[in-house]
Structure 1
Amino acid sequence: MADQHANPTRETPLTDDDVRAPSHAERARTLVSQQTTGTLSTLDPEGFPHGSYVTFALDGANPIFLISKLATHTQHLLRDAKASLMVHESRAEDPLANGRVTLIGNCAKVEDAASARDAFLAQHPRSAYYADFADFAFYRLEPKTVRYIGGYGRMSWVDIEDFRAASPDPLAPDAEGILEHMNDDHAEALVLYARAFTRAVDAEDALMTGIDRYGFELSVGTKTGRRPARIAFDKEIATPLEARQVLVALVKQARAKLA
């Protein structure tokens, strides 16, 4: 199967930039909500960054960690609370086409840990075995800065208040399955979308590379090469069933428009 997550955004798009799409804050919040591991970077006594592979969960917009005071990164945090968490996708054949987010702020032990505990154990239930060990405690990273990179040509510093206010995309848990289904079973429909709703009237083939509550993205094969396109839904959707219904309706619209 072709790489469905290849990001061809360095090429001239086939649709206008103002087609409704998730904000970078929404994309970043969605990406972080879909991950459970990342790299926690702390500062050693000489000020050098030290990266550790960790598990985490979100309590609101704040990453929560369950870490031992014996760990090197915990000792660093006890000296200096400045830290960052980098999380990333692991899907595309080209690693740099994957999205990634770095959350930068202060990370400190949670004194009233009820909410943090609930959030972490809901995501990592096996951690209940050692959550009450004397040397373990919950730590919370409170981001002050967010760096988002969504692959090639899509990146920005995200305002922290926008990040906190954003909600994860409701289709995100099912997006991979929707993409696989559309690309494997509905290749003809994807070409119809491209020919009817983008400037690629001569589209030869198309791959669906992304779908979200506001619309979907295509990588379209044309006589001049592959080009990106985005098609917006008429209304925001939230479930795979709604996605199926709107995609079926768009096929009918595309055929009528091209007739």
Structure 2
Amino acid sequence: MSVKAGKHARELLLKEYQGGLSTHSKTMPGFPFGSVVPYCLDALGRPLILISRIAQHTHNLQKDAKCSLLVGERGADDVQAAGRLTLLAEARQLTEAGEIDAAAERYYRYFPQASNYHRTHDFDFWYLEPVRARFIGGFGAIHWVDALTLANPFAGEPERSMIEHMNSDHANAIAHYVALSGLPAEPAAQLVGIDSEGFHLRIGQTVHWLAFPTSCNNQGAVRQALVLLARAEVWPSGAPVEA
């Protein structure tokens, strides 16, 4: 596997926010069971999902934690030519109060419409621990990926502080990022996440990930990247844009 393939696979996982979850059927042993789940990435770069205790896929995971998550490029005209990723993983439910609170704080920034599901409708947070991934970047670009995840160096208070600052004081800059990347101008975008490779904007109920021009491993580098983008007339070369 090339480093480039691993980066492209991770970018696809960052961009899409929903996928097809396949579990081992408890009711029909031997058959795979498919469902659709929204997700965001947790502090360690693993898909974080919120699922109902009465859902079939939850019963399946309680019996057998092995699963897969299929993620493909949204809106692709030719799905066989588009990028897609099959993540083989083991699902783990979060049970510690501190972990659950951190997961809720992150997840509800991305999906505020799901707020309080785990309290009022018996939903629980689970994460998918990657085992291996199969990435197809188009015809002939096929790779096994063994090191997919990348921990978020800003997870927790640093990320929360940067997000609050941008949303409170730099709405014009956020609007410029939206215009620069060709995303919908309405409703107004909110910054909901920052990682070392880019940032996440929520527009209505849809989330988009935009790449930094270069990787940012400290808050100073993030600040410089956001200022550069706020002043740019075109998206800097080398930074792929989710449209």
Give the TM-score range, shorter chain: 0.5 to 0.7
- Structure 1 counterpart of 2:54, from 70, 73, 97: 70
Taking the TM superposition and a 5 Å limit, the aligned residue runs for 1:44-83 are: 44-45=25-26, 46-59=29-42, 60-83=44-67
Q: Residue in 1 aligned with 2:166? A: none
Higher relative CO (CA 8 A, sep ≥ 6), structure 1 or 2?
Answer: 1
Q: Where does 1:110-125 land on structure 2 (aligned, <5 Å)?
A: 110-112=94-96, 113-125=100-112
Show structure 2 runs of 5+ residues with no match.
153-176, 184-210, 215-224, 238-243
Q: Among residues 144, 148, 166, which one is paired with 2:135 in the alignment? A: 148
Q: Which amino acid aligns with 2:234?
A: R
Q: Provide the C-alpha distance between the structure 2 equivalents of 1:176 and 1:145, rounded to a whole number of angstroms.
A: 36
Supply the distance in 1 between the matched residues of 2:150 and 2:81 (Cα, whole angstroms): 26
Residue identity matched to 2:20: T
**Equivalences for 1:78-93 in 2 at 5 Å?**
78-93=62-77
Give 1:140 shift: 0.9
- Name 2:155's counterpart in structure 1: none
Q: Is the 8 Å Cα contact of residues 86 and 102 (structure 1) preserved in structure 2?
A: yes
- Could you tell me how far apart the structure 1 residues matched to 2:112 and 2:236 are? 37
Correspondent of 2:24 among 43, 51, 62: 43
Structure 2 CA distance for partners of 1:152 and 1:121, relative to 1, 3 Å: same
Are residues 95 and 244 of structure 1, via their aligned partners in 2, closer, same or farther at CA, if it must alter by over 3 Å?
same
Q: Which residue of 2 aligns with 1:127?
A: 114
AA in 2 matched with 1:143:
P
Cα distance in 1, alignment partners of residues 78 and 15 from structure 2? 20
State the Cα distance separating 1:118 from its structure 2 match.
Answer: 2.1
Give the TM-score of the pair, scaled to structure 2: 0.59
Task: Please report the RMSD computed on the Cα atoms of aligned residues, expressed in angstroms.
Answer: 3.1
Identical aligned pairs, as a percentage?
A: 33
CA distance in structure 2 between the partners assigned to 1:142 and 1:30 by the alignment: 17
Instruction: Return the alpha-carbon distance in structure 2 between the equivalents of residues 116 and 122 of structure 1.
Output: 10
* Pairwise CA distance, 1:55: 1.0
> Conserved in 2, the CA contact under 8 Å of 1:175 and 1:212?
no
Q: Deviations over 1:130-183 (max 9, x none)?
A: 2312521111110110111111121201122xx22488xxxxxx7996589xxx
Aligned residue among 73, 76, 87 for 1:103: 87
Q: TM-score, normalised by structure 1?
A: 0.56
Letter in 2 for 1:43: H
Equivalences, count: 167
Shift of 1:22: 7.0
CA radius of gyration, larger in: 1
Distance between the aligned counterparts of 1:22 and 1:126, measured in 2?
A: 36
Distance 1:100 1:130, change over 3 A: same
Question: For residues 178-198 of structure 1, what are the alpha-carbon distances to aligned partners after superposition, in whole Å with 9 as ceiling and x for unaligned?
Answer: 589xxxxxxxxxxxxxxxxxx
| Equivalence map 1:192-207=2 (5 Å) | none
Q: Deviations over 1:92-138 (max 9, x none)?
A: 32221211111111102111212222221111111114231252111
